[in-house]
Amino acid sequence: MKLGLIGYGKLGKEIERVAVERGWEIAFKQNSNSTTHDIQGSLVDVVIHAATPATLVQDVRLWAELKKPIVIGTTGWYNEIAEVKSLAEKNDIGIIYASNFSIGVQIFFRLLKQAGTMIDKFPDYDAFIREAHHKEKLDAPSGTALQAGAILLDSIKRKKELLTQQTSGKIRPEQLQVSSVRAGAIVGEHAVTIDSPADAIEIRHTAKNRGGFAAGALLAAEWIQGKRGLFTMEDVLADLFKG
């Protein structure tokens, strides 16, 4: 399979490394110096976007018009999701996105859903989210933390609102706090603590390197072949666990 990479930073390089190990061909690498001529002249089977959210829609539009399926690993663009969905439908291609393509993170999400459903029955238990990433990460909270929050809001009915800004005082019972740290070279840490007067439970995912993301993105790139419309990594996992 021939792969096109949009974004060739640390993550793009890791996707390339894992792809080459698995026998994929890197047919195109797009960075800030690439031109439209370069892009139109490339022959790829699928494109993985791991670049800045500022160029996401224009990048998707260009590749969608070339009828290439797209895997979006970039975060911080979700206010434009309707336009991306429209581009997939208009150009009759498949686009898949995730806040985090790591299989471990997807398992983490499923554990959170189950835990949230259980603690919904016990009002003494509260929940909060902490995440940490390297100092160069552009968005905060991370897309992964926001998705974890959305899962908990959906499963813990007494929680109605994510609190993502720093607070210096009491929060309301219906708020679920998400705190972020940006420092050093942390690849990615996400933890949900479920706390009560009697005890505490923690569900944590720690990325040791970017290899897990790369492997999951390639799995998504294989899965999206021949699909039409906008999908998430949850659709891939549903297929894997089907039956």
Active site (catalytic) residues: 133, 137
114: number of Cβ within 10 Å = 12
CA–CA distance, 95 with 210 (Å, rounded to integer): 22
Separation of alpha carbons 164 and 150, rounded Å:
12
For the chain, how many residues are written? 243
d(CA 101, CA 234): 10
Q: What is the distance between the alpha carbons of residues 27 and 5, in angstroms, rounded to a whole number?
A: 8
Partnered with residue 165 across adjacent β-strands are none
Cβ(120)–Cβ(158) below 8 Å: yes
Other CB atoms within 10 A of residue 76 CB? 17
Query: DSSP state, 2?
Result: E
Q: Where are the beta strands (DSSP E) in 144-234?
A: 161-163, 175-182, 189-195, 200-206, 229-232
Rounded CA-CA distance 45/225 in Å is: 8
CA distance between the termini of the chain: 28
Place of tokens 């009828």: 67
